Structure formats: structure tokens, C-alpha cells
Amino acid sequence: MDKITRVGIAGTGLIGKGIALEVGKQSELSLAKVLTRRDITTMNDYPFPERLTNSVEDFIGNCDLVVECSGDVIYGTEVIDQAIKASLPVITMNAELQVTTGSYFAKRGFITEAEGDQPGCLASLHENVVEMGFKPLVYGNIKGFLKLDPILEDMEYFSKRNGVRLDMTISFTDGTKVQVEQALVANGLGAGIAVDGLLAPSSNDLNETGAELAEEAKQLGYPISEFVLAPKAPPGVFITAEHDSRQKDALRYFKMGEGPYYTILQNFHLCHLEVVKTIKRVINGGGVLLNNGENPSVGVAAIAKRTLQPGEEIEKGIGSFQVRGEAVKMTSNQNHVPIGLLVNAVMKRTVEEGQIITFDDVELPESLALTAWLETIEKLPINS
């Protein structure tokens, strides 16, 4: 390639910093600007301080392509809106944003999730297995542990040990993150979910569990997006699929088992280290890897972890001790509040532990993200 693509990164956390380091190594890419809300004068540990800016206008005006990885739905939506208006392609490492406002942007410009996190890795694996003739039935995410209502002391310990924000640590632990990821996979790959909250079977054998989930998908009549609890399995993704029965003997020889369901495992996901692959895909005309689609069928509802009282404020729903997220079918949960919108929200009514928060239960501040969600659900086929 003769042209050097100017890459802008929105976000300076673990993921944003890691992407910047990798972009800086590429001969056909240049790290143009890095957008942050932090005080730049205090960021002495950032590897490219001369690229930092607090100005969205400065950021957008000096980039050919934007990577959004702020981890913030409300703020990230504002940044992407400016990028789309400037006709810039947008790559996200922000599944929470995708399932909340990604469909709004999919109708307006180019937006794709990156490889690295499980949704992008599943999308890449999907392309690979389909090219080999497989017909996917299960898009599987592997999770090693789950605690629906973790305690502060434990979360502070793991946050400090892993160098990851407290809210992100909570979201990983209480299942919100994996529910978000699998909702995005379902919407982006034309799949569905078996039940609200997902089946989430425990597994000591991915081939066996994959086959059980594939049988569930066959009975439902559509592919499903799922996750398994498998503490001894690698931190990767898998697809369980069917194949042409005439290939059965060959697949047995290839150590894929007897069929009729075959599980293809990718035993890793390397987060920011894989994002450059998606950047190169986009600039070389490879198109969208994965986004939330224009007409999503799965949302991520906020479920009360305890009884919430009128007047109680939810500063940020994702990664809180008040709510967690669950993937739900939009057809039967049209009034649910996406957990990504619960920012500086105030409860209007009592919501008991385990109940879904609806728009009747809470007052939300005005935001582009809220506008985007309301437009998305208004234009869904179920509401037309």
C-alpha cells in the first residue's frame, strides 16, 4: 500500500493504549490522534503523549479512520456520531455500545466491531467455517467463572491485581459482559437466543456441550448465541455446526468426531493485539466484520440485583452493585431499559430483586444514546 492511513483512537485505558502501541508498529498506518477525557498533563505514563487531545473536533479532523474503545456507551456514542457525520469508518472495541446504539449508526455509515474480544473473534471464525462448508448452529463463548452478585472487597482485589477498572471487573464477574457480547453476536450474525438470560450450561467437554446446544438450536429452528461455564477450557470461542453428510468419513478422519455436529474451537482471544487485523481489513475494502445490524432482535436488559427504591440513583448500570445485564428477546421485552443507558438515572418506582427495569420504572437524562435507542426500537418490524 502506498497510502498511509491516519488512525485515531478514542480511549486511553488498557485496550486503547495497547492498540496505540500496535498501530505504531505498522508501516501502512500512523497513529494520528488519541482522544481522552483525562487531564493530559497528568498522563506521564502514556507512550505517545504528543498524540493526545481532549478535543473531539481536533481528533476527527486529523483521522482517516476511528477506533472507539472508551468503554463508555454515552460518551462513545457522541464521538462515533461525529465520526459518522465526517464520513469516517468506525471500528469499535465496545460491545456495550454496539448493543445499545450500534444499530442507529449501522443505518448511517460504516461501523464494525473489531477482532479481539469474543464477538469479533466469533465473527471471524464464522467466516472461516462457512467458507469450509459448515452451517453454524451455535456461536459459543467460553467463560471460566460467574458470580451474579459479587462483593466489593473481592472486586477491588481483582481490579487492582489485573489493572482493570472496577466497573469492568464487576461486569466481567456478574455476567453482564458475556450477555452483552452474545447479544451482539446474535444480532450481527443472524442468530437468536434460546431463552432470556441464555442457557449458560456448565461444561467439562466442549464437544458434548456443543452438540447438546446444537440440538437445542435444531429444535428452535435457528442458530443460537450462547456461552458455557467451563473453568478448565481455554479463554476462547467455538462454533458448533453441521456439514454435508457426504463429508462424514473425511471429518472423522480429520479427528472431528462422528457428527452430525462438529465443534470448531479457537482457543484464545487476544483483545487489543488483534485489532490491527480489523483496521487492515477495513482499509483494504474487506467490509463489516460484525455490528449490531439495522434490526436487532436481542437487547440487554437491566436486572435488579436487589430491591431498588424510588429516588435511588444509578450512576452507571454496567459494572454496578445495583443491576446486571441479561440478553433478552426484543419481541417479549419491548419496554426494557438497555443497561447501557442506565447512567445518572433515577428510579421512579420500586423494582424488586430479579426484575427487569422498564422505561416506566426510571427517569433517564437526555442523551444521543437514548435518542438512538428509541429510534431503533420504533423502527423495528415488531413495532411497524
Domain 5-115+273-283 matches domain 298-383 at the CATH topology level = no
Res 347: pLDDT: 98
The values of phi and psi at residue 129, to 5°, are -70, -35
Cell 472507539: give the residue: 68
Residue 84 neighbours by CB under 8 Å, 6+ apart: 90, 105, 108, 109, 111
Cell of residue 46, nine digits? 502514556
Query: Domain extents for the chain?
Result: 5-115+273-283, 118-269, 298-383
Q: Given CATH 3.30.70.20, say whether it is the number of domain 5-115+273-283.
A: no
Longest dimension (CA), the chain: 65
Q: How far is it, in rounded angstroms, from Cα 60 to Cα 171?
A: 30
Nearest CA to 324 out of 217, 177, 200, 225 is that of: 177
User: Per-residue confidence of the chain (384 residues) as pLDDT tens digits?
Assistant: 468 999 999 999 999 999 999 999 999 999 999 999 999 999 999 999 999 999 999 999 999 999 999 999 999 999 999 999 999 999 999 999 999 999 999 999 999 999 999 999 999 999 999 999 999 999 999 999 999 999 999 999 999 999 899 999 999 999 999 999 999 999 999 999 999 999 999 999 999 999 999 999 999 999 999 999 999 999 999 999 999 999 999 999 999 999 999 999 999 999 999 999 999 999 999 999 999 999 999 999 999 999 999 999 999 999 999 999 999 999 999 999 999 999 999 999 999 999 999 999 999 999 999 999 999 999 887 775
Determine the straight-line distance between the first and last CA of the chain, rounded to whole angstroms.
46
Res 238: pLDDT: 98
Q: How far is it, in rounded angstroms, from Cα 156 to Cα 154?
A: 6
Residue 340 neighbours by CB under 8 Å, 6+ apart: 73, 96, 97, 99, 100, 101, 180, 300, 317, 318, 369
Res 1: pLDDT: 47
Residue ranges of the alpha helices (H) in the chain? 14-23, 56-61, 73-85, 95-97, 103-106, 118-131, 152-162, 166-173, 176-188, 206-220, 248-253, 275-283, 368-378
Res 384: pLDDT: 53
- Asked if the bond preceding 260 is cis, omega within 30° of 0, the reply is yes
Res 380: pLDDT: 84
Q: What is the side-by-side order of every strand in the sheet holding 29-35?
A: 52-53, 29-35, 5-10, 65-68, 90-92, 111-113
The values of phi and psi at residue 204, to 5°, are -110, -5
Between β-strands 90-92 and 65-68, what pairing exists: parallel, antiparallel or unpaired? parallel
Domain 298-383, CATH class in plain words: alpha beta
Res 379: pLDDT: 83
Cell of residue 257, nine digits? 468426531
Give me the helix-helix angle, 152-162 and 166-173, nearest 10°: 110
Q: How far is it, in rounded angstroms, from Cα 298 to Cα 173?
A: 21
Q: How far is it, in rounded angstroms, from Cα 297 to Cα 191?
A: 9
Cell of residue 301, nine digits? 436488559
